[in-house]
Structures are given as structure tokens and as C-alpha cells.
Amino acid sequence: MSQSGSFTIKLTVGLFIIFAMSIMASAQMTIFNIPSTDTLEKKGVYVEADFIAKPVSYDKGGFQTYGYRVVYGLGHRTEVGANFYYTRDGGDAVAELQVNAKQTLYQNEKHGIAATAGFIASTPLRDTRGAKRYALLYSNVSKTIEQLKGLRVTGGVYTVVGGGSDFGTKTGAIVGVEQPITKRVSFLADWFSGKNRFGYASAGLNFAVTKKQFILLGYNFGNSGAGNNSLAVFYGYTF
């Protein structure tokens, strides 16, 4: 069987497992980089513009990534979305398209607990560097502690299907913290374990410009070393 055929079968099986679990069982869609346990309400729309950069010359590893994210609430605690990323680093520009879905498996507002599962499937739009299609499958659980000014901690696991033999770590943990500081400012931090394209610890400040829009300023620390570190600026709006 071809590599693409094997990938398609594994992806289909993985997505089936996620939605089978979902049957059994207005906010920022990620914390910093890891998925949050928030899902959009029915017919809700969320858009986001991302800028990530290492502000040094290209010959020293510098790059700029421009990203766009759109998410739509389907109802039944389910959302779907699409992301587009374009990266420049002095060589051939790289473009990538992602589709994703997330569903709330459990929610208890009284005790501040929520659990979700979802996937992110990616395909390169320009394959000049041998990039491979892959899908990231994940599940996570969060707990909000009102006694600590609404602190929310999130933990979960992920696995990657596809991506080729040089993708790196394909199974790991995700961890996140959201700590309100004032009414409009929060500290956010999260971490993807492993040495792969997701392997970062990230931290920053989230500024709620209005009830529907925010600006997030932060920094990514690469698990593979300082060479992968980068600045990040995100702007999000919920309709």
C-alpha cells in the first residue's frame, strides 16, 4: 500500500475514534499554542491573525510566519475550522493549510471541569522541502479554580499520524495555565512535549481589548534549543 493510502486509512480510523468517544460521552480557541477546552456556541464565528518571528537575519535562522485561523460553531458543543500559514526564511516560502474540529465531551460548570477531543489535519500547499501530510489527534481536560481568581489549568495527550519518519516525537503531553491578573489582562502559558514542530513551551500576556477581541503577546521557547525560539503576536475576534 502507498504511503498516502496508509495515511488516509490511519487518519480515518483516528477521526472515527474521536467522534465515537464524543457520542459516548465564546472564547479563545487555543491557550497559547495548545488547544483549549473552549468550543464556540452554535453559529458562532471566531477569526484570528497570527504573526510569529525570530527577529534575526535569515542566515542566522530568522523567519516570519503569517497565520490566519477561522472557526465556526456547529452546535452540540462542536466546532470546525481552518488555518493557513505562510513562512519566509530566505529560501523558498512554505505554505500550509490545516483543517480542524473539536467537540466537548464533558462539561460541569459548577465544578469548573471541561473535557474535549479533536484533531488538526495538515497538508503542505508547497512541497519544495519534502513536507508530509499529518494529523494531530488530542484530548484534554481543564479545571477552573475560582478561589485563585479564576485560574484554569489544562492537561492532555496528543498523537500524530503521518508526517514521515523525520517528523520527530509523535506522542506526548500538553499542559496549559491561564491566570487572570486584572479584568482585562491574563497570563497564559502552555507546553507541547516532545521534539517536533509542536515542541514548544510558550508564555505571554493576553489583553482583552473588548469582550469579543483580544491581543496576545508572548514568546515561544523551543524544546530543541534556543535556535527555535520566536516572538508571537496573535489578534482574535469572536462574532
Q: Mind giving me the DSSP string for 120-153?
A: EEEEES--TT----EEEEEEEEEEEEGGGTTEEE
pLDDT of 27 reads 45
203 Cα distance to chain centroid: 14
**Confidence category of residue 91, pLDDT binned at 50, 70, 90:** confident
User: Per-residue pLDDT tens for 117-146?
Assistant: 999 999 999 666 777 899 999 999 999 999
68/70 Cα distance (integer angstroms): 7
* Alpha helices in 57-115, H assignment, sequence order: none
pLDDT of 128 reads 64
Mean pLDDT of 27-45: 90
User: Per-residue pLDDT tens for 174-197?
Assistant: 999 999 999 999 999 999 999 999
Mean pLDDT of 151-163: 97
pTM above 0.75, yes or no: yes
Counting other chains too, the contacts that 87-94 makes at CB distance below 8 Å and 24 or more residues apart are: 87/63, 88/63, 88/64, 89/58, 89/61, 89/62, 89/63, 89/64, 90/58, 90/59, 90/62, 90/63, 91/58, 91/129, 92/126, 92/128, 92/129, 93/126, 94/124, 94/126, 94/128, 94/129, 94/131
- Any idea where the domains of the chain sit in the sequence? 3-238
Mean pLDDT of 203-220: 96
* CATH node for 3-238: 2.40.160.40
Start-to-end C-alpha separation, the chain: 45
